[in-house]
């Protein structure tokens, strides 16, 4: 994918604020600190489109970007940040549920997990939730540079087992540091977006 333009459209908290539905859309979700902002920046060849390490627990919004005037890339708020209050967690749940259940142009959700660790309880819940809403889902394992290449498949297997993924389902290995997996991730996105 050649990135010709990246436009920030809106930080939305409710559906009335979502941009128009004329273009297909792909959304990214994962635990706080999983490397979602870094992945977005890497994928878009930009330094600061999505803010890396912005304080977790701050006001949570759904951020829409328009890419190449062709599709929306959606940055969903990260989950699993321990210091967030119960009411903030509920707020998060409602906002995500409204988005996932009603967003017509949504073609797929890409769930990010850290390659080093077995998915958390919240990761598993998220994965199950996506399947409950019948949202096509793919998994990207981030921070691949943090373990040796020889370990990747072992970790991928644990991720698949813990999430309860089907045997043939794919987990894409990715690193924002080295760019490994970037081309494959774009192929995956394009497949979802344009078939």
Residues that bind ligand GDP (CB under 6 A): 30, 32-38, 52-53, 78, 142-143, 145-146, 175-177
Closer Cβ to ligand GDP, 23 or 127, answer by number: 127
> Cβ closer to ligand GDP: 140 or 193?
140
Cβ 22 to ligand GDP shortest distance, Å: 28
Question: Roughly how many angstroms between the first and final C-alpha of the chain, as a whole number?
Answer: 14
The DSSP bridge partners found for residue 139 are 111, 171
Task: Return the number of other C-beta atoms located less than 10 Å from residue 178's C-beta.
Answer: 11
Q: Is 64 helix (H, G, I), strand (E, B) or coil?
A: strand
**Nearer Cβ to ligand GDP, position 78 or 129?**
78
Could you tell me the smallest distance in angstroms from the CB atom of residue 81 to ligand GDP?
A: 9
**What is the closest distance, in whole angstroms, from the C-beta atom of residue 102 to ligand GDP in the complex?**
25
The token pair at 53 is: 């390490």
Taking a C-beta distance cutoff of 8 angstroms, is the pair 34, 142 a contact?
yes
């Amino acid at each position: 994918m050649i990135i010709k333009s990246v436009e920030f459209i809106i930080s939305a908290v409710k559906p009335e604020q979502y941009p128009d539905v004329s273009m297909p859309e792909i959304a990214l979700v994962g635990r706080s600190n999983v490397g979602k902002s870094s992945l977005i920046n890497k994928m878009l060849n930009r330094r600061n489109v999505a803010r890396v390490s912005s304080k977790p627990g701050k006001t949570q919004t759904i951020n829409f970007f328009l890419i190449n005037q062709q599709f929306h890339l959606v940055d969903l708020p990260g989950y699993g940040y321990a210091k967030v209050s119960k009411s903030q967690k509920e707020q998060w749940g409602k906002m995500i549920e409204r988005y996932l259940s009603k967003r017509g142009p949504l073609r797929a959700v890409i769930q990010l997990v850290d390659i080093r660790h077995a998915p958390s309880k919240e990761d598993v819940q998220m994965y199950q939730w996506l399947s409950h809403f019948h949202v096509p889902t793919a998994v990207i394992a981030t921070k691949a540079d943090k373990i040796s290449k020889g370990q990747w498949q072992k970790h991928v297997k644990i991720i698949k087992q813990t999430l309860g993924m089907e045997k043939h389902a794919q987990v894409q290995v990715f690193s924002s540091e080295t760019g490994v997996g970037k081309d494959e991730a774009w192929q995956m996105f394009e497949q979802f977006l344009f078939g």
